[in-house]
Structure 1
Amino acid sequence: MEQTPDQKKKELRKKAMKLPLSPGVYLMHDRSGKIIYIGKAKALKNRVSQYFGSEKNHDDKVRQMVAHVDWFEYILTDSEFEALVLECSLIKQHTPKYNILLKDDKGYHYIKVTNEEWPRISQSKQAPDDGNTYIGPYVSSWATKESVDEALKIFCLPSCNRHFPRDIGKGRPCLNFFIKQCCAPCRGKISKEEYLESVNEAIDFLKGGSSESVRKLTEKMNRAAENLEFEYAARIRDRLSAIRRMGDRQKVVAISVPEQDVVALAQGPTACCFQVFRFQDGRLCDRESFPMGRCGEPESARREFLERYYTIRDRIPPRVTLDGPAESMDLLERWLTEKRGSRVLLSVPQKGEQAKLAEMVRQNAAEAVAQTTGRTVKETSALDELGRKLGLSEPPKYIESYDISNLQGGENVAGMIVFENGRPLKSAYRKFKIKTVEGQDDYASMRETLERRFEEYELHKEEGEGFGRLPDLILLDGGKGQVGAVKPVLEEHHLEIPLFGMVKDSSHRTRAITGDGGEISISSNRAAFTLVSSIQDEVHRWAIGYHRQLRKKHSISSALTTVEGIGEKRAKALLRYFRTMTAIREAELSQLEQAPGMTKPAAQKLYQAIHGAENLDEKSQKS
């Protein structure tokens, strides 16, 4: 008889509990015997048994992996460091499905100079024997492309698809000519000799670098000036200015550390991305992007990524800067040091140049995630920042927020709004009229609201949407008191949902987020601050709007109850039937008489109150 998933899980946990408390590597297999995950552990028993225990602290990636595990094996090592080295080797050998796997696409790249009458310069992935000239090879695709782009702009060479001399004099020049980034041979105003000179200068620039080009061009400019060739000297002067401008642009991402890598992670609701910026001689020399699916808990993901990345890359810098902590940083540092042959420092800067650099790289990673998920960079970055600030394992995809509104305890209501993927999901907004609380008690009102919300969850959880869907995060409009009032409700329902309050300052602007451990400040210039402020403003608008709506209805209802024969119940029935006071005023006597719960005497009294006794007599005579 085939085992159920729960039975299989219990069996695997029983086996895991028999493992030794020793360091080692574990290998998870599926039914076919294929290795689907490889991990290392300081204590095998503790680590492996966690997979087959409670799922509450597991992310989606781990849950999926565990669901496919049929059996596991392990290899003992003398130390956790040896386990890490063995883990890296085995992952490279077996490429398991649920480990972070990076494709090593670092081939060689070349700069191509075509062998034609009007040569063209471009980037190439290969160097075939086709009669053209190839400069290289270069390892970095990004650096090769950047160099070609810079050379074309500095020396005003064409980057379009036109062929010369065939297309000379045919059509208008493109935009690059008008912004002074192309000499536009298509206009027929530049001689072949001048064009070839520009091409040769560009090749010298690409081969020798900007400093060598500056030296050669400066010599040319001085000779031209001595020979009174002022127009030619001015053209060289403009090229020197262009090289300096390019150098100034590069300084934007120049650093004080001669050689280092900066690694950052951005997570979206359904995807994540690692970015690596590589620096040599204090300047950005390469950048790589690794988009992937959901990568789970950030610290574990960073460790896995660093292991995979430096397994497929030969160059290891003396410093690696991270945008957040990684699991087993001391072991990673030791492993990288051994691979490099000299000290490697792993750091997570909190301020200064390095922190700004890490944030810049993270923003680039957020851009890649945004392109994958179809969200804006701002939305992706805000959710990622918020998740980090609150210590969540993943960015909160589905956020619920609550606010209480009343006036001196009257018309006590609550509003619930939902933000999904950083945007308002108005179809999921809900309103609550407080039933059990009299007077102004916001804590009790908030407790009742959440109690009713999760009672609805129990009734609709099979549907998986609306009240049947649990949020990834709950934000209450209020401080520590509201959080304390609501937390027991979550505990009673055995729900582990992150719960925080949104605190305002004296000017009613969002100041911080509060939980059990005190306030978490959020900087006003960060995307997370904008998101939380938007949520707080929106839930306040929704709650107070409902409160005003009820107050308006109550005042209208009170006006109706002043008419003889119309009480609270009949007034509410009239408002439900006619919807507005204007419709009641414009209704004929017969329409009032036919309204639910109305009698002829009551209808006549109401009509008389609205239109006067004379109109009532006239209507009665006609009827």
Structure 2
Amino acid sequence: MAVEETPKEQLKHLPHRPGIYKFYDDKGIIYVGKAVDIRKRVSSYFNRSNQHNKKTLKLISQIKRVEFTIVDSEADAFLLENNLIKQHQPKYNILLKDGKTYPYLCITNERFPRVLSTRNKINDGSRYFGPYPSVTSMYVVLELIRSLYPLRTCSYNLSPANIQGGKFKVCLEYHIGNCKGPCEGLYEEEEYNQHIQQIKNILSGNMAVAKNYFKEKMSAAAAEYQYELAHQYKQKLDLLDDFQSKSTVVSNTLTNIDVFTITSNEKCAFLNYLKVMNGSIISTQSLELQKKLEETDQDILASMIMQLRADYESTAKEILVNIDDLQLPLDSITITVPQIGDKRKLLNLSLKNALYLRKERESMQDKSKDSSEVRIMETMKRDLRLTELPKHIECFDNSNFQGDNPVASMVCFRNAKPSKKDYRHFHIKTVVGPDDFASMYEVVTRRYRRLLEEGASLPQLVIIDGGKGQLGMAVKALKDLGIYGQVAIVGIAKRLEEIFYPGDSFPLYIDKKSESLKLIQRLRNEAHRFAITFHRSRRDAGTLQTELTQIKGLGPATAEKLLSKFKSVKKIASLSQEELEVEVGKSKAQILRNYFSQSK
């Protein structure tokens, strides 16, 4: 039985040709990418692992199989990649975050075509216009079309045989003047198709053909003294003029241009697209995309330009963008970053829309975070039976090694998040030996005496990492300071996650899944980490300082100065004579060099 090759072993079978590659896990496709050279691109995932971020490393760890498809050009690779992403929605490809399906206007592929609104594009020969950024904007255009042209809305099969056989009868739409009755042969097919062609021009942004048609009809009716009919054509012409005036006119000199801008943060990219024809913006769309791997703005924008141009059926020969070094495999198309003039104003307008979407989404995320923090604090207030919302929490922990170098730490959380600028280390000054109870009394006393002296606000909750003994000493410290009762205080035992209250012999057990217990555990773990780190650094510094102070002619102040800057004796020993002279002067530098030379 043949042994299946690993993804890395499959690299030697990949071609040095343009195309797309697909990564599979056990369930299916997880990523689709394009490449000018398939083997080089895929190899970069496996041969440069130290250059990848965590998301990419996670992708690589899940790859079970690699497949590829060779194409003729980079342009074909772009299009094939786009189609496969739409079809399979791989979890590691960038995706539209909101997953919206935007509305289109469809001119059906049938005899006496209809104009309909739809969210699904079907490959049935019908012509689609859009997508529109909202249903409202789409219906504004649809109402204009229906006001200008008496099109049918029924779904009858208007074949010549059915019409000649009298199979259908006109409906209410005919009697109120919205339809001319093609179902009974009352509407000439040639005239109907002429109207459909004018609708296609209007939806493509070209109003001139339709306006000239209504002007000619109005003039002809007036020449024959049919003033009521002429007035009807005049009303239709006014509708077109009014609709065109409401379009954003950017410049009479600009025509058939696509504008794309992008701005991004760590997690998402925000894009805006403007489609300009005959000096007016006829379509616009803003998008939010969720990043999956290490995509650059250039990668994201290049991919979305291909997709949006296909969606909007754009034939523009000029594309304006806001970032340099954008590579697109589009022949005979100019890609520029304009710096001045009307094109720059147009680019700024697009970028303003992209930035607005980014600001709106980030504001929503901030509000969501704030809401989550308030929920956690309210849960803690309820679980711990507090009288105030614990917006400011402080947690204490001691650390010593066989009574050596006793230290303590205090970490501070504000609004359920670490406030690292408020973290504090404590050297134990009044306690000799490993006495955690006395040490706790000292650091709690020092902390809150300092806050009282500075007039700073006290926390709503104090957490002591330890059992009843340490909690009792912390309570004594608060009482001696006269603030017991102003600050809620609890202890957390390490083994069973028991919460102790002062004066209560029975602990409180919080639900293991509770957000308040998770926050308490996070505080306790952070305080423990902070204390241990400080204790180790102090113990190491003490050991190293002892070696330096043993050097004859070198005092403790000089040793401390060197260690605080260079952190280790090894680093100090590697310094040159000149570097040491800069730090401690010529004579002491010579003493150090002599000592390190003898040590070697």
Q: Give the TM-score normalised by the residue count of structure 2.
A: 0.42
Larger Rg: 2
